[in-house]
Amino acid sequence: VIETYTSNMLEPYSDTGGNFAPFYDQATANTYYQKLDALGVQIHTHAIGDGAIHTALNAYEYALEQNGPNDNRHQIVHLQLIDDADIPRFAALNVTANFQSLWANQDQYYHLAIPLVGQQRADNFYSIKSVVDSGARVTGGSDWSVSSLNPLDAIEVAIRRQDPWTNDDPVHQASERVSLATMIDAYTRNGAWAMRLEGTSGSIEVGKRADLIILDRNLFELSPEDINTARVLLTLMDGREVYKAE
């Protein structure tokens, strides 16, 4: 993670002038990704710094060049700082961008990172809209138990780019705000696709499993700052009631 200088960056850390070596150099990453991809393995890559993300995208590109197109549905998760030049590569390589959008606000970790990477890089954290606009598939994750498991918290932050539990927090890069529809897709149909479950889950359609929740309010009728105050009334898994509010 950036806050402990353990993310590999394209440019050195601002305050120390040093960097953290990648766990795998590019040639090793290329070899691993190519072999796993050839075996039909879906590769799920943890990458936070722009250097790590760049290495992962290069390795996915190498696997594609060596093995040809397939349906392995690889992804990169976290994506705190993406180099601008790498943003279009997610769509081009068919790599899913798995964001934890709850973190896309000016929380304590943002402030801790500013001296380490400088204001400009910190302001570019979690460029969700840029990735969406590039045509890439975006999914939502929580990284639980590190942070909130409630997707409504993360959805609200992606829309507001502010702390979901306050209404007066500074906005983090308003240009990277996304729509409610985009984030609902990220947590439903896009997530199902990433798990190869699009034929049975991810949307409410005849013939699919009834995996769904009913909320006490229509999210599309709420002010963005009220999204995470919605509550679940009923949860169905494969049509079975597994939770019902009093």
Q: What is the mean pLDDT of residues 193-206?
A: 97
Q: Tell me: the pLDDT tens digits for 2-36?
A: 999 999 999 999 999 999 999 999 999 999 999 99
Report the SS3 class of residue 85: helix
Predicted confidence (pLDDT) at residue 168 exceeds the cutoff of 90: no
Q: What is the mean pLDDT of the chain?
A: 97
Q: What is the mean pLDDT of residues 134-145?
A: 96
**pLDDT number for residue 167:** 84
Closest CA to 158 of 143, 144, 141, 179: 179
Closest CA to 179 of 204, 205, 201, 161: 161
**pLDDT number for residue 192:** 97
Sheet holding 96-99, edge to edge: 44-47, 75-78, 96-99, 138-140
**pLDDT number for residue 204:** 95
**pLDDT number for residue 14:** 97
Confidence of residue 107 (pLDDT cuts 50, 70, 90): very high
pTM of the model: 0.96
Phi, psi of 48 (to 5 degrees): -115, -50
Distance CA 157, CA 120 (A): 20
Q: What is the mean pLDDT of residues 107-129?
A: 97
Predicted confidence (pLDDT) at residue 116 exceeds the cutoff of 90: yes
Q: What is the mean pLDDT of residues 202-217?
A: 96
Q: Tell me: the pLDDT tens digits for 24-71?
A: 999 999 999 999 999 999 999 999 999 999 999 999 999 999 999 999
- The conformation of residue 81, written as its DSSP 8-state character, comes to S
**pLDDT number for residue 63:** 98
Predicted confidence (pLDDT) at residue 205 exceeds the cutoff of 90: yes
Q: Give exposure, 211-241, as e/b (b: 16+ Cβ within 10 Å).
A: beeeeeeebeebebbebbebeeeeebeeeee
